[in-house]
Structure 1
Amino acid sequence: IQESVPERLDIKHRILADIQAHCREDALIGSSTSGFKPSELQEGAARPEQIFVAHPFNPVYLLPVIELVGVEATLLSARDVLDSIGMKPLIVRKEIDAHIADRFLEAVWREALWLIKDGIATTQEIDDVIRFGFGMRWAQMGLFETYRIAGGEAGMRHFIAQFGPCLSWPWTKLMDVPELTDELTDMIADQSDAQSGMHSIRELERIRDDNLVSIMRALKPRNWGAGELLNAQDARNTPPLPADIDHPLKTLERVIPVDWMDYNSHMNESRYGQVFSDAGDVVMRMVGADQAYIDGGLSYFTVSNEITYLNETHLGDVIHVRTQVLEARGKKLRLYHEMIRTTDSGLLATCNQLLLHVSLKTRKSCEPEGEVLARITALGEAQSKLPKPASMRD
């Protein structure tokens, strides 16, 4: 049973008492409170040990972590339930106002308000510092593992020795900090060793970098934050339609990233589809069917892809795609792509792609318009004289 009423202790006491009057004695009663301690929630309760803090994070249907505070036996039962539904329950060792996460958020919030009040930064600038900077590191490595890397091979003790004195400087409005005694330094360093000592700093750096690449790439389809930045760079890197178009076009060149690998340690088959889709998008932009054209209500839809897998593709492989236009007539555009490993010219896969020009208003096929029609017609005529690709099946 989860209580999620407003942060007023009198209301919570009344609701919790009502719940206990009607529920089983062995029921688990969690509270979503952001700040109250379980001892405060349990005041006057018929069965205080039944009530505990179960503090989730919005959106709760996406973010898995949930802070648990209360009686150990109750928390262990709650942890089992939360584990079973895919959550990440975190048992807080001691009760404290605002638990763990909200204490961090409160500190950051106060400092952000000072930066705004003093005219140092705007809300946009503060958000950008987080979105494009340390927020991405925190998202996949947290605070102490990030700082462990900053300490280099000497580890956490070196980091504290190097940066610890900064805590006494007037960098922030939050000057109430613990004295960094040898005992505290040893405690932090020992806990850091237990947490991450199985990895060298170089291994942690590789893990961090691979994770960052995956996070940034994951934001691309949503065109958000760092993903928007990468999409803009991709658009800038799209070559124009070359003057000499009577030969196959080089439509893509890239390195195979870590998040494209599957359990067989080679590129997952779905990523071949992405490679050829990206190559087709480049052809679209070359002939002028770019974002502005799409915003005007016209585009190309893929009708079919016939992909043939010929050789394995591995992490770090440099590949390029060679594209030949087989047909560009009216609303039909047929492309033949060859995915080639650049280092040895090995053919990895091919794709026969059929696209139709479509009105985004009617969702039906239609003829291309204006400059796009002229360019696609010229491209089709120039490549119609080319022989059929040697790798193409009859």
Structure 2
Amino acid sequence: MRMASSGLSAEQHRPVPFYRNVKVLAVLAQIAFLVLIILLFWILYSNMIRGLRIANIPLDFGFLDDTAGFAIGETSIAYQPADTYARAFAVGVVNTLRVAGLGIILATILGTIVGIGRLSNNWLLRNVAAAYVAIFRNTPLLVQLIFWYIAVIRRLPRVRNAWGINGVILASNRGLAVAWPAAAESYRTWEPWLWMGLVIGVLAFVARRWQLARMDRPGSALPHAFLAAGLTVLIGALIVFATTGTLPLTIGQPVLGGFNFTGGAVLSPEFFALLLGLTIYTAAFIAEVVRGGIQSVNKGQVEAARALGLSPSQTLRLVIFPQALRVIIPPMTNQYLNLTKNSSLGVAVAFPDMFNVSSTIINQSGRSVQMFALIMASYLSVSLLTSLLMNLYNSRIRLVER
């Protein structure tokens, strides 16, 4: 009996062959998959190098120092056709960041309003918000951009018959002109006060955070920071006005000058159409994100707020929305990334964004590989930076369990 037991024990302790070991097989499968991926990339890279060698195109970025030789219709930084390809690409990047930044701000505001409207007790408001989401979320963005550009903006009246409030906002087939602050002669004297306000605002933010942590009380330090910075800047403006007799900022009003508007900020038809399309399209998705976040809050929170005597607006602002943000922020980040990448559709309305300018550079230089690498690296950098900022904010508002 003992001999049988010892034989069985030896059989149990015998090592499993490697070809039957699950862990070993899993590692071998991963190694094989990795080798296959490397081989695939090597084949694609070798094919690319072979094609470039046949076309006599070097794989470098020295061409960016060559003269661009083409004009760009809308520039946010100084640019001339005699500048380099690198400068032209920088213009496209700045244009993309400009439309994406404004689009994110406007889409967030509009989407939040529509999302709250979807839960309104008012029958008309609730159904109008639902119709908005259904229409703009279920039609292609490219179709919407072309519609806004050709069927709406290009059909607006001429400059002389522009719609709007004279000196405030005017819309015509030349775009949208709005009143906008402009630097006056005393702006340089006031500029140090802006930097001083920034420093004081940061110090006030840090001090308030330290005070709240010491008292173990919840709260936000941003209102105190903005108040301190704003008062500093305002005091500086008053001192500059008292010493120079002019305010550092004036309001530039759009007026008709020749065949277009002068003064204020003028948005070209292409920029206006792209911004309008991206804002309205993305806001429809953000509205559903906001609605879902609000509905995720326990109804007991609302009942408790009512028991404390809070009004509906106070309940939404102080109780529901702070808790809903934990659910809203992650999908909201995806919509911000989608808006930034969708800005490449500006080529459909002739807006000189990064992709449009890069296409012109490719047509002239033939450096498609290098330019597409720059395009992908630029979009990737913007997306990673946006994700980082949103994740940092999400980590600050998340619920910490004890």
* TM-score scaled by length of structure 1: 0.22
Q: Which has the higher strand share?
A: 1
Q: Which has the higher helix share?
A: 2
Higher RCO structure (Cα 8 Å, ≥6 apart)? 2
